[in-house]
Amino acid sequence: MAGERGSRRMALQEREFILGGQFNEDGTTRLEVALLDSGGKTRLELRLLGWGEGIGWYVQKRIQLDPLQIRALRGILGRGEGRMKSFTPRLKMTRKIEECAEKNPQRSSVSVCP
């Protein structure tokens, strides 16, 4: 009986794969995209992370999308891609990576500094 319970718990466990993430312009929040798999059902989760002194990065908000919503989001983002380029100002790469790291020590991955 105990063996069955253990295997059921294992079957119900959710697996998570972080697909990527991006910091906002000043490095205070991060958008993270995760793929969740639970019992053969796959969902995408968008997470907004904040930084807290003494605790590090923590999840502020989560949005889970099912496959239908994922397809719809891809379509929406695909249509807006050309429009975004015309409204997004170009950033000048004038700082060295060391300067950015000193300014935002909580950054754990490489990002372009404004």
Ordered domains of the chain (ranges, CATH)? 2-103 (2.30.31.10)
pLDDT tens by residue, 32-86: 999 998 888 888 999 999 999 999 999 999 999 988 999 998 999 888 766 665 5
CA–CA gap between residue 104 and residue 113 (Å, rounded): 10
Report the share of the chain in percent with pLDDT over 90.
39
Give the per-residue pLDDT at 83.
65
Judged against a pLDDT cut of 50, whether residue 108 lies above it is answered with no
Three-class SS state of 7: helix
Give the per-residue pLDDT at 58.
95
**Amino acid residing at 7:** S
pTM of the entire predicted model: 0.58
